[in-house]
Amino acid sequence: MKVLATLALVLGLILLNIGTCFGDLHVGFYKGKCTNRVDVEVIVRGVVTARFNRDHSIVAALLRLYFHDCFVNGCDGSILIDGPNSEKKASPNGSVRGYDIINEAKAAVERECPGVVSCADIIALATRDAVALSVGWRWKYDVETGRRDGLVPGNVDLPPSRITVSQSIQVFANKGLTVTDMVMLLGGGHSVGFTHCSFIMDRLYNFNNTNKPDPNMSPFLLTTLRSRCPPTGARDNQEVDLDQNPFSAFVVDPSYYQQSMMRRAILSVDQELAMHPETRGLVASMARWSGFPEQFGAAMTNLGRVGVLTGNQGQVRNRCNLVNPITTGNSTPAIANKASTSSTTAAAANNTSTNAPSATTNSASTSAPSNGAANNANTSPVLGDINPMA
């Protein structure tokens, strides 16, 4: 697939396991914590593999689920909680999917190691495994574990739609994430899945109200997309792959950057990354496959450190969609914890982007837009925000 096959021969199985840690998070947190030497990561991987074999689009779905969990209230599994005022019900999460995969993995883990593994960690592990499966396990990144589950859903605080690169840099910085993290997360999240014609019509016909197409879109891509998305709007729900190579539409790889450099990025913010002075150098580097697995793995690790609960904070839910009954001394209210930990986590993450567990070379998604406010969320240029089939 594209350059992957060739590079796999060159790279081989380069092992880059580095057991760094972040506070109470570390790689292999659950080793020795279950009876009979149960490896919970293997259990999660088995569930994800079975689902991936039936539906490759789970890669983009889980990437988006992971991002939406971490960007809202921190990586605490709060997006999984059911309820009328839950994060699930917020319009930006209207087309998020993958909940059933996490619930299935949690149930499988609970059968072998009850009350130990958090739902927040299962999201992180499942996402890593889906990414690795997408590239045939030619590379993978390590996942720090040790998170606890939140007790309450958070206010949805996702980047707005039609965001510029400069605005996106600030939004990510507010979460303690660097420009490099942002470029890598966008690159990985938007190298899989598809969007719909309705979200790119302005680029094709009326960019910035000029009644002309986006001048930064290549003529080849413009012709291709106009043939699929006519100006009448008759095909607004027509799917458009973010990766225009049909052989790698579900592979997390540098194709996103390569297309951006050729002015063939589907989303305007993706194209802008290739031209913005703070991001174009990294985009050009990634287009040459310069350390993509390692850099993407580091960015995913930094994202996984945002606003985490550890130690006695939060709880380990018995079921991911329901908060356990609170008993005195069992857990600390998640809201109070976030007040003290999120800013510390953000500051630390900003200074540790190069210390994340690296990739092991071995190794986003817009469902058809629902009516109402959820449509705006699907144009937001963040990780996995362009989802394949919901």
Give the residue with greater pLDDT, 19 vs 110: 110
CA–CA separation, 200 and 177 (whole Å): 27
Beta-strand ranges (E) seen in 207-357 are 239-241
pLDDT at 36: 85
Give the residue with greater pLDDT, 122 vs 154: 122
* 286 confidence band (pLDDT: 50, 70, 90): very high
Q: What tokens does 150 get?
A: 């939140």
Give the residue with greater pLDDT, 147 vs 336: 147
Residue 87 marked ligand-binding: yes
Residue 74 marked ligand-binding: yes
Q: Which of 56, 68, 196, 276 is catalytic?
A: 68
Find out whether 65 and 127 touch, Cβ atoms under 8 Å: yes
Residue 56 marked ligand-binding: no
Q: What tokens does 124 get?
A: 């992180």
Domains and their CATH numbers in the chain: 12-191+287-367 (1.10.520.10)
Residue 272 marked ligand-binding: no
Find out whether 128 and 140 touch, Cβ atoms under 8 Å: yes
Find out whether 23 and 359 touch, Cβ atoms under 8 Å: no
CA–CA separation, 62 and 47 (whole Å): 13
CA–CA separation, 203 and 222 (whole Å): 9
Residue 159 marked ligand-binding: yes
pLDDT at 91: 52
User: In Å, what is the CA distance from 198 to each residue of 45, 164, 201, 233, 278?
Assistant: 36, 19, 6, 7, 29
pLDDT at 72: 81
CA–CA separation, 82 and 69 (whole Å): 14
Strand order across the beta sheet in which 144-145 lies: 21-22, 25-27, 144-145
Find out whether 306 and 313 touch, Cβ atoms under 8 Å: no
CA–CA separation, 335 and 274 (whole Å): 39
* 196 confidence band (pLDDT: 50, 70, 90): confident
CA–CA separation, 70 and 158 (whole Å): 10
Residue 78 marked ligand-binding: yes
pLDDT at 380: 41
pLDDT in tens, 217-260: 999 999 999 999 999 888 888 889 888 877 788 899 998 899 99
Q: Which of 10-14, 60-64, 329-333 has the lowest mean pLDDT?
A: 10-14
The pLDDT mean for the chain works out to 79
Residue 76 marked ligand-binding: yes
CB atoms within 10 A of CB 292: 24
CA–CA separation, 199 and 384 (whole Å): 15
- Using DSSP's 3-state secondary structure scheme, residue 360 falls into strand
CA–CA separation, 37 and 345 (whole Å): 32
* 14 confidence band (pLDDT: 50, 70, 90): very low
In the chain, the percentage of residues whose pLDDT exceeds 70 is 72
Nearest Cα residue to 275 out of 208, 214, 365: 214
pTM, whole model, 2 decimals? 0.79
| 56 labelled catalytic | no
Give the residue with greater pLDDT, 132 vs 162: 132
pLDDT in tens, 288-338: 887 899 999 999 999 999 999 999 999 999 999 999 987 655 444 444 344
Task: Estimate to the nearest angstrom the gap between the alpha carbon of 31 and the chain centroid.
Answer: 25
Cβ-in-10-Å burial (0-12, 13-18, 19+) of 180 comes to: middle
* 187 confidence band (pLDDT: 50, 70, 90): confident
* 95 confidence band (pLDDT: 50, 70, 90): low
Rounded to an integer, the average pLDDT of 168-192 is 93
pLDDT in tens, 349-362: 333 333 444 454 44
